[in-house]
Amino acid sequence: MFRPAVLIAFACLFALGCAGGGAAPPAAAPPPAAAPPKVAQAPAGASPAASAPAPATKGAAPTPAATCKDAKTTWRIAGEAVRPNQIIVWADRFKELIEQRTNCQISILVFQGGVLGTSKQTIEQVRLGSLELAMIVSDMPELYPAYGALDLPFIFRDRAHAVAVLDGPIGKRLNEEMIKTKGVRSLGYGELGIRHVTNSVRPITKPDDLKGLKIRVPPSKLRVRTFEIFGAAAPPIPSSEMYTALQARVADGQENPLSSAFSFSLWEVQKYVSLTGHIYSPVFPLTNEKTFQKLSPEFQKLVLDTSQEIAVWHRKESEKADIEFLKKLQEKGMMVNEVNPADFQRQAAQVWAEFAEPIGQELINSIVNTK
């Protein structure tokens, strides 16, 4: 799954070589059953919001300025990430298009860097109706357990499989069930990207290399168990506290897409990037259903249509970011290596077994069988 052939070929050319794990991986035994595909480059043409400026500072993010002074409605978007992370790329694009298409009748304020709270806190704010929009990734199973299916390691064969699930009947059903039972709606599904492991100790080429290491994971039971089963200790730490934890060696490493590794300046506290490709992470823009219903029918349709348009664009930007941020991390001195995915996939089978009951085996089977 998600074997980053294009990434690793680029890395070797750029860095005059790669650390460890040069052999092509064998096909994995089920579950998951898919042989790892190549990652293709996305088309050029990123917007200014999606390009990679200098990494954000690790201090408090600035308060956003309103660009629509006379708006009748204001929505605040909260995210723990910082620019140029793909989470904030989605939020910036949403702000641009919604303000433009409503002629500034709706104003969007983007709060990055966790200034309005951690992901768990902003989910609760959305649930209570005190925050209009929260950008959520790994905490979704804590809100609605069935979404844990998307977080199972190696559940998706490739990006096309993920999109078929998210934009198809399964993604629609999960969202409708969450609206009905939790009063929270996801405005479609963006893409944070494909997750890899970084650390400050050694290259990771197989699960045994994780033994004795502390790998920071998001505060998600599923993610904690995934890395415990892979062989690491897995302290759950919010994104907004990740850099400090790595700097203080509370954790030796972490797992995230490459845009997160760059936007949090992790080259300063990490040495190795191991292209594990263990999880595909969608982005969930969450709003309270009552907040959404306060919009006019015209604006409800506009918000949903715009969100889906952004999702298609955002996924292309995320593919392109894989290449761009790998280069930038190497320019900052990080060493890149590939892994044998089959070794990790065999361990992943235990994760699937442990979480089949809370997630639902029927849902897991439906995702696996989606074409």
Contacts of residue 180, Cβ cutoff 8 Å, sequence gap at least 6: none
pLDDT value for 65: 79
155 in any annotated domain: yes
224 in any annotated domain: yes
Phi, psi of 147 (to 5 degrees): -65, -10
Contact 56, 330 (CB under 8 A): no
Contacts of residue 5, Cβ cutoff 8 Å, sequence gap at least 6: 38, 39
* CA 38 vs CA 1, 24, 306: distances in Å: 8, 12, 30
pLDDT value for 4: 52
Q: Is the pLDDT of residue 47 over 90?
A: no
What is the average pLDDT across 206-220?
97
Strand partners, 280: 194
Q: Is the pLDDT of residue 39 over 60?
A: no
pLDDT value for 64: 85
Structural domain boundaries enclosing 316: 5-39+56-368
Q: Which two tokens stand for residue 36?
A: 């790892």
pLDDT value for 34: 39
Q: Is the pLDDT of residue 44 over 50?
A: no
What is the average pLDDT across 157-176?
98
128 in any annotated domain: yes
62 in any annotated domain: yes
Q: How many domains does the chain have?
A: 1
pLDDT value for 66: 84
CATH number of the domain to which 112 belongs: 3.40.190.170
* CA 284 vs CA 67, 103, 121, 167, 360: distances in Å: 24, 25, 15, 13, 21
Q: Is the dihedral of CA 280, 286, 289, 293 positive or negative?
A: negative
163 in any annotated domain: yes
70 in any annotated domain: yes
**DSSP conformation class of 83:** T
Q: Is the pLDDT of residue 346 over 60?
A: yes
How far is it, in rounded angstroms, from Cα 349 to Cα 231? 14
pTM of the model: 0.84
pLDDT digit string, tens, across residues 326-342: 999 999 999 999 999 99
44 in any annotated domain: no
24 in any annotated domain: yes
Q: Is the pLDDT of residue 162 over 80?
A: yes
pLDDT digit string, tens, across residues 283-329: 999 999 999 999 999 999 999 999 999 999 999 999 999 899 999 99
